[in-house]
């Protein structure tokens, strides 16, 4: 094995926004997900010992692993849970190159809001695999990076769909359906978004439980809603490829209504969604777990939409499609 001596390597990976199909994807319906231009950055550097040291400037936590032993440096013992996925990412690369006793320093910084349904943990895992892989001259393919990041994500989400690490690895716009391969939609058109954050953290598990209970109570109705959601997503694929953003916005509004019908929205989110629509957005809907919403708006209307979302109580930022997935920065 050859390694890059005394140098740091930085990799970054993008966040994601669900355009269509979140939650229904669990039941085999198609989902459309977009990489956005918010990124997690991970810098990896060799150590002189065999420890794995990980720090996150955003979460203000840090700790060191030696085998199964953990030593807290910042954030206390509870920080270990949040650092374990990055540790897993490092260990997988070390196993790949046959050097389990190599020590690595990992420094994480990110401009992706956490616990907001934007794929922060997957972006960190993906960037960690890529940075450590380059550091150790592992020559990882994107498919290998994806698989390793997915395994790290399993520590966070149990049995995730794989959407988050896939979009962080490959970028662009992907269509996902359970038990099928990802489809690169090759969307050429820019997709200008405004993202509003309610700062209300939502548990994906709890939201899925709400849908499951509703479906058990009213299966004939909920199944029809999911079929409508699938049709909405597939129509959106065609509109995205043609650059018909007004149509995409209208379909976003319909998708949001379907998600509301199965109980996964909340009052704070609705205020932001309707503020965006009333200020001229083509469409607006919750995204992912529902801590955040997205609005699709022409660029000359984005500032107005952003101000409306802020007045409605949200924190807000602009985003657009990122065609580039994980990459080495230095």
Three-class secondary structure of residue 157 per DSSP: helix
Three-class secondary structure of residue 154 per DSSP: helix
Backbone angles phi, psi at 266, to 5 degrees: -155, 170
Residues 266 and 285 in one domain: yes
Catalytic residues: 164
Residues 314 and 242 in one domain: yes
Tell me which residue of 302, 305, 296, 308 sits closest to 193, measured CA to CA: 296
Instruction: Name the domain boundary from 142, 166, 186.
Output: 186
Question: What is the total count of domains within the chain?
Answer: 2
How far is Cα 195 from Cα 258, in angstroms, rounded to an integer?
A: 20
CB 176 within 8 A of CB 163: yes
Assigned domain for 325 exists: no
**Average confidence (pLDDT) per 10 residues, the chain, 330 residues:** 69 97 92 96 96 95 94 94 95 91 95 87 97 96 96 80 93 94 94 94 80 94 96 97 97 97 93 98 90 94 97 96 93
Three-class secondary structure of residue 313 per DSSP: coil
CATH of the domain at 227: 3.30.70.890
CB 170 within 8 A of CB 159: no
Q: Determine whether 53 is exposed, middle or buried from the number of CB atoms within 10 Å of its CB (0-12, 13-18, 19+).
A: buried
The per-residue pLDDT for 6 is 67
**pLDDT digit string (tens) for 188-201?**
999 999 999 998 88
**pLDDT digit string (tens) for 288-299?**
877 899 999 999
Q: Which residues contact 185 (CB under 8 A, 6 or more apart)?
A: 32, 172, 173, 174, 175, 237, 240, 241
Assigned domain for 163 exists: yes
Instruction: Name the domain boundary from 121, 155, 186.
Output: 186
Assigned domain for 3 exists: no
Residues 168 and 35 in one domain: yes
Q: Which residues contact 306 (CB under 8 A, 6 or more apart)?
A: 194, 316, 317, 318
The per-residue pLDDT for 2 is 47
Three-class secondary structure of residue 43 per DSSP: strand
Instruction: Name the domain boundary from 186, 216, 240.
Output: 186
Q: For residue 211, give its domain range.
A: 193-319
Q: Which residues contact 313 (CB under 8 A, 6 or more apart)?
A: 198, 268, 271, 272
Residues 135 and 213 in one domain: no
Residues 199 and 243 in one domain: yes
Residues 149 and 244 in one domain: no
Assigned domain for 174 exists: yes
Assigned domain for 133 exists: yes
Residues 161 and 250 in one domain: no
**pLDDT digit string (tens) for 71-121?**
999 999 999 999 999 999 999 999 999 887 899 999 999 999 887 889 999
Residues 168 and 252 in one domain: no
How far is Cα 41 from Cα 91, in angstroms, rounded to an integer?
A: 18
């Amino acid at each position: 094995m050859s390694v890059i001596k005394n140098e740091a390597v930085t990799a970054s990976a993008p966040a994601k926004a669900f355009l269509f199909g979140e939650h229904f994807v669990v039941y085999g319906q198609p989902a459309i997900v977009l990489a956005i231009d918010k990124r997690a950055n991970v810098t990896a550097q060799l150590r002189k010992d065999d420890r794995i040291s990980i720090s996150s400037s955003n979460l203000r936590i840090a700790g060191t692993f030696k085998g199964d032993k953990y030593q807290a440096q910042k954030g206390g013992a509870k920080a270990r849970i949040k650092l374990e996925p990055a540790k897993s990412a490092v260990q997988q690369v070390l196993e790949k190159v046959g050097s389990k006793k190599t020590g690595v320093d990992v420094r994480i910084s990110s401009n992706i809001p956490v616990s907001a349904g934007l794929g922060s943990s997957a972006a960190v895992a993906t960037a960690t695999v890529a940075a450590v892989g380059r550091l150790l001259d592992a020559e990882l393919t994107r498919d290998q990076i994806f698989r390793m990041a997915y395994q790290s994500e399993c520590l966070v989400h149990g049995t995730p769909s794989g959407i988050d690490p896939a979009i962080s690895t490959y970028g662009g716009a992907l269509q996902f359906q359970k038990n099928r391969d990802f489809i690169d939609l090759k969307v050429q058109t820019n997709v200008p978004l405004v993202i509003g954050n309610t700062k209300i953290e939502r548990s994906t598990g709890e939201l899925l439980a709400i849908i499951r209970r509703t479906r058990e109570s009213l299966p004939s109705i909920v199944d029809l809603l999911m079929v409508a959601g699938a049709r909405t997503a597939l129509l959106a694929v065609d509109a995205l490829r043609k650059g018909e953003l007004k149509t995409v916005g209208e379909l976003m509004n319909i998708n949001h209504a379907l998600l509301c019908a199965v109980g996964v929205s909340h009052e704070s989110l609705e205020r932001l969604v309707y503020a965006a629509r009333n200020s001229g957005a083509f469409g607006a809907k919750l995204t992912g777990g529902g801590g955040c919403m997205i609005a699709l708006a022409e660029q000359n209307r984005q500032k107005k939409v952003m101000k409306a979302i802020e007045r409605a109580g949200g924190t807000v930022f602009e985003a657009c499609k990122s065609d580039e997935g994980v990459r080495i920065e230095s």
